[in-house]
C-alpha cells in the first residue's frame, strides 16, 4: 500500500475542530470502578456519597478537664465557689474522650482550683454542651456529603472516611496508547550520545505526552517505536484499537509529506474528521475514529505535539472522566517589542514575563515548533487571534501563566547582551535565595539599553565599546539614558576573539584573514556589543563589510555562533572564549572587554537585585566563572559608574 502526499484541503479553526471532536465523542465516558477511598484522590464520583454514620458518633470532650452536668455548676462564683469531687458526678476527661453518662459540659483544666486528689473548686458556671463536640456535630448519618460528579480532593478523603464511607464508585482513568513513529528516531536507552549521527533524533515526544496524560488524569502505555512504514503502522493501530484503550496517539506522520502515514492509516481503518488546524504551532494535527476509539495524529515537532495535545487530546481525556476543564490563570501583559503574526492562524507564542515598575512585561521566545526549550523557559503563553497581524509594543494582551505569579514577581528581568555567565548566575542565585530567579533575554547591548529606557527590564547586560577612549558603556548611557539615574556594575571581564574549528584548518590568525582567506563568517545581530566591536575593528583595519563573506548572517548568542562553527555552517565567528571552550573549539584572542550590568537606580536597593549583587560577590560564583575559561573576576561586583540625570554628552 503506497501513500501519496497529503494536502490540507479543509483546515478548521480551533473552535470548529473542538466542536467536531466533542460532538463526535459526546458519550465517550470511561467505565466505572470501585476504589478504596484512600486511593481515590483526584477521581470523580459516579453516584452521590451518603454518610453511613454520624461524626462524631458520640458526645465527645472538646477540651481537657472535668466533665459535669452543667446544672451542677450553676451559682458558682469567686465569692461562692462550688466544690466538685471527681468520680462523684464529675469525671476527668481528655480531649476526644466519650462524655460520661449524665454529663453535658466540660470545665477546662485551666479553670479548676485543685484542692487535693479528691476535690476541685470552680468559681464560674458552665452552660450545657460547653466544650463538648455533640454527636453529629460535623456529619449526621444519611447526610449528602458529595453529589455525583464531585472530584475527590484531599479534604474529601477525610469527610468520606469520617462519614463511614470506605469505598467509592468512580470513573476509571482513561488508558492511552502512545505510538512514536519515524525512521530517524532513536530511543534514549538504546544509544550512546557519541553514537548519534547526523539525521538521528532522540525520541522524546512519547515521554512528554506520557507525562501530559498523567496531568490529565489518564494512564498510558508506550508502543515500541515504529519506522516509517505504512503497513506496520496500520497493523499496530488496528490491533491497538481493538484492545482496551480509550485513546490512541500516533506521534509523527501527521503532516503533508509523502512519508507521513497517520492520515492514510486512520482513513483506511476508520474515518479522519479533521486534518489541519489554523493554529501555530500544531497546524498538521488530525483526529479521527477507529472502532469508536478516538485516534489522534500528533505532529512530530515537540512544541507542536504539546500544543496539539493540550488543545484537543487532553480536554477529551478530562471529558471522559467527567472532570472539569483545567483552570487557567490569565494576566494582562505588555510586549516589550512589537510582535508580528500571520493572518489566518491562531498563534501560541511562548514568552518570558517579568514584573517591572508594577507592570507585567513580556518578551517573546523563539517561535520554532521544534524548540522544546521555548516551553521550559517560558513564563507564559500569549494566544494571538487569527484575525490580527500582530500586537503593538506595550499593548495589553492576556497571557496564560505557566509559573505562579508570585514567582514572576520575584524574577529579575535582564535584557541585553548575551553572556554565558548569566546562565551560571541563574543557577547560583538559587543557593543564595531559593525564591529569586533570573530571566534573561538576548537582544544585544543596544537592545538592552532601549529596554531600560522603556522600563521593560530591571537591568541590561552591555559591553559597548567607545572607540574614542576605549571605555565601555558609559558614553552610551549618557547618550541614550540621559533622563535616568543608573549604576554600572561589572559582572565580568572576558576575552573576545575568533572562534574556529578544532585544529583551525584554515589557519586563521587575525581579522584580516577573514578577507584574505575568503572564509565563511557568522556575525552577531545589529546592536550587539560584539557586532559594534567587529565593525570598529573592520574600520580600523580599512576592511569593507562587503569583503567579509557571511557578514549579513547573524546569531543572537555566543553559543549559537559557536554551534554554527561546530556544525560547519561557518568557518569562523567572533565570540567569547567560554563559548569556544564549551564546544571544544579553538579560539584566537582579539580583545579583553568589560561586560557590565546597567541597573536603574530605582531597582538597585530592591531585595531581588541585592540578592543578585550578593551572589556575584561570592567566591563560589566567581570560581565557577573562572572555570569557564576566558574570564576575569577582578572587577566583579564593582560599581564602575553612577550616572547623573543632568549629564548629557
Residue 123: predicted pLDDT: 92
Average pLDDT, the chain: 91
Clarify whether residues 167 and 178 are in a common domain: no
29-58 pLDDT, tens per residue? 999 999 999 999 999 999 999 999 998 989
- Residue 434 domain flag: no
Which CATH number covers residue 340?
Answer: 2.40.340.10
Clarify whether residues 388 and 517 are in a common domain: no
Clarify whether residues 458 and 604 are in a common domain: yes
pTM greater than the 0.85 cutoff: no
- Residue 555 domain flag: yes
- Residue 525 domain flag: yes
Clarify whether residues 72 and 47 are in a common domain: no
Which CATH number covers residue 490?
Answer: 3.40.190.290
Clarify whether residues 18 and 70 are in a common domain: no
- Residue 64 domain flag: yes
Clarify whether residues 472 and 560 are in a common domain: yes
Low-confidence ranges of the chain (pLDDT < 70): 1-9, 254-259, 645-649
Which CATH number covers residue 253?
Answer: 3.40.980.10
Which CATH number covers residue 152?
Answer: 3.90.105.10
Clarify whether residues 143 and 196 are in a common domain: no
Clarify whether residues 476 and 605 are in a common domain: yes
427-471 pLDDT, tens per residue? 999 988 889 999 888 889 999 999 999 999 999 999 999 988 889
User: How far is residue 407 CA from its own chain's centroid?
Assistant: 11
Say how many domains are in the chain: 5
Clarify whether residues 46 and 186 are in a common domain: no
Dihedral class, residue 626 (left if φ above 0, else alpha if ψ from -120 to 50, else beta)? alpha
Residue 567: predicted pLDDT: 93
- Residue 460 domain flag: yes
Of 320, 340, 369, the last residue of a domain is 320
- Residue 494 domain flag: yes
Of 377, 403, 429, the last residue of a domain is 403
Of 147, 171, 195, the last residue of a domain is 171
Clarify whether residues 395 and 459 are in a common domain: no
Clarify whether residues 452 and 592 are in a common domain: yes
Which residues in 181-262 belong to E strands, given as ranges? 185-186, 201-202, 219-222, 247-251
- Residue 423 domain flag: no
Q: Are 158 and 38 in contact (CB under 8 A)?
A: no
Residue 217 dihedral angles phi and psi, to the nearest 5°: 80, 15
DSSP 400-467: EESS-HHHHHTEEEEEES--HHHHHHHHHHHHH-TT-EEEEEE--HHHHHHHHHHT--SEEEE--B-T
Clarify whether residues 355 and 452 are in a common domain: no
Which CATH number covers residue 94?
Answer: 2.170.190.11
Question: 40 is in which domain, residue-wise?
Answer: 32-55+138-171
- Residue 429 domain flag: no
Amino acid at each position: 500500500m503506497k501513500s501519496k502526499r497529503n494536502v490540507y484541503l479543509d483546515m478548521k479553526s480551533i473552535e470548529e475542530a473542538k466542536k467536531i471532536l466533542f460532538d463526535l465523542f459526546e458519550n465517550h465516558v470511561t467505565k466505572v470502578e470501585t476504589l478504596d477511598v484512600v486511593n481515590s484522590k483526584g477521581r470523580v464520583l459516579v453516584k452521590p456519597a451518603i454518610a453511613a454514620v454520624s461524626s462524631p458518633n458520640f458526645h465527645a470532650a472538646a477540651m481537657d478537664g472535668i466533665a459535669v452536668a452543667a446544672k451542677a455548676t450553676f451559682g458558682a462564683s469567686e465569692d461562692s465557689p462550688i466544690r466538685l469531687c471527681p468520680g462523684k458526678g464529675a469525671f476527668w476527661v481528655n480531649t476526644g474522650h466519650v462524655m460520661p453518662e449524665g454529663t453535658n459540659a466540660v470545665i477546662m483544666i485551666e479553670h479548676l482550683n485543685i484542692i487535693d486528689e479528691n476535690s476541685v473548686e470552680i468559681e464560674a458556671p458552665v452552660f450545657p454542651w460547653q466544650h463538648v463536640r455533640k454527636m453529629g456535630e460535623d456529619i449526621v448519618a444519611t447526610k449528602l456529603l458529595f453529589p455525583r460528579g464531585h472530584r475527590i480532593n484531599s479534604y474529601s478523603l477525610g469527610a468520606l472516611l469520617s462519614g463511614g464511607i470506605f469505598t467509592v464508585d468512580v470513573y476509571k482513568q482513561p488508558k492511552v496508547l502512545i505510538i512514536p513513529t519515524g525512521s530517524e528516531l532513536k530511543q534514549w536507552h538504546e544509544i550512546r550520545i557519541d553514537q548519534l549521527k547526523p539525521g538521528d533524533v532522540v525520541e522524546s515526544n512519547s515521554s512528554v505526552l506520557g507525562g501530559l496524560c498523567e496531568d490529565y488524569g489518564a494512564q498510558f502505555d508506550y508502543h515500541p517505536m515504529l519506522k516509517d512504514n505504512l503497513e506496520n503502522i496500520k497493523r499496530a493501530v488496528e490491533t491497538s484499537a481493538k484492545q482496551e484503550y480509550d485513546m490512541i496517539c500516533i506521534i509523527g506522520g501527521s503532516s503533508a509529506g509523502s512519508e507521513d502515514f497517520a492520515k492514510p492509516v486512520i482513513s483506511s481503518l476508520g474515518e479522519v474528521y479533521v486534518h489541519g488546524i489554523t493554529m501555530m504551532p500544531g497546524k498538521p494535527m488530525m483526529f479521527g475514529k477507529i472502532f469508536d476509539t478516538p485516534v489522534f495524529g500528533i505532529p512530530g515537532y515537540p512544541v507542536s505535539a504539546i500544543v496539539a495535545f493540550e488543545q484537543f487530546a487532553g480536554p477529551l481525556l478530562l471529558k471522559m472522566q467527567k472532570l472539569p476543564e483545567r483552570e487557567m490563570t490569565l494576566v494582562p501583559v505588555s510586549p516589550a517589542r512589537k510582535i508580528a503574526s500571520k493572518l489566518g492562524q491562531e498563534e501560541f507564542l511562548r514568552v518570558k514575563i517579568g514584573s517591572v515598575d508594577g507592570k507585567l512585561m513580556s518578551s517573546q521566545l523563539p517561535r520554532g515548533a521544534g524548540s522544546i526549550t521555548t516551553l521550559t523557559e517560558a513564563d507564559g503563553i500569549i494566544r494571538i487571534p487569527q484575525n490580527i497581524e500582530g500586537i503593538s509594543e506595550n499593548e495589553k494582551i492576556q497571557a496564560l501563566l505557566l509559573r505562579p505569579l508570585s514567582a514572576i514577581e520575584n524574577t529579575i528581568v535582564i535584557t541585553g547582551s548575551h553572556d554565558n555567565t548569566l546562565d551560571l548566575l541563574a543557577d547560583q542565585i538559587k543557593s543564595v535565595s531559593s525564591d529569586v530567579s533570573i530571566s534573561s533575554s538576548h537582544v544585544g547591548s543596544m537592545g538592552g539599553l532601549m529596554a531600560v529606557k522603556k522600563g521593560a527590564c530591571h537591568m541590561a547586560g552591555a559591553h559597548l565599546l567607545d572607540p574614542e577612549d576605549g571605555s565601555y558603556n558609559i558614553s552610551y548611557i549618557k547618550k541614550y539614558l540621559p533622563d535616568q539615574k543608573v549604576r554600572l556594575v561589572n559582572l565580568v571581564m572576558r576575552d573576545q576573539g575568533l572562534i574556529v574549528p578544532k585544529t583551525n584548518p584554515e589557519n586563521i590568525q587575525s581579522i584580516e584573514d577573514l578577507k584574505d582567506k575568503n572564509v565563511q563568517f557568522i556575525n552577531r545581530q545589529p546592536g550587539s556589543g560584539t557586532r559594534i566591536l567587529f565593525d570598529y575593528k573592520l574600520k580600523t583595519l580599512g576592511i569593507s563589510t562587503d569583503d567579509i563573506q557571511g557578514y549579513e548572517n547573524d546569531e543572537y548568542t555566543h553559543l549559537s555562533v559557536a554551534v554554527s562553527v561546530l556544525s560547519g555552517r561557518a568557518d569562523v565567528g567572533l565570540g567569547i572564549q567560554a563559548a569556544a571552550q564549551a564546544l571544544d573549539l579553538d579560539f584566537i584572542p582579539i580583545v579583553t572587554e568589560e561586560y557590565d550590568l546597567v541597573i536603574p537606580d530605582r531597582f538597585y536597593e530592591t531585595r531581588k537585585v541585592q540578592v543578585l549583587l550578593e551572589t556575584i560577590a561570592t567566591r563560589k560564583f566567581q570560581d565557577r566563572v573562572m572555570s569557564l575559561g576566558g574570564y576575569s573576576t577582578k572587577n566583579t561586583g564593582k560599581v564602575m559608574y553612577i550616572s547623573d540625570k543632568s549629564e548629557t554628552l
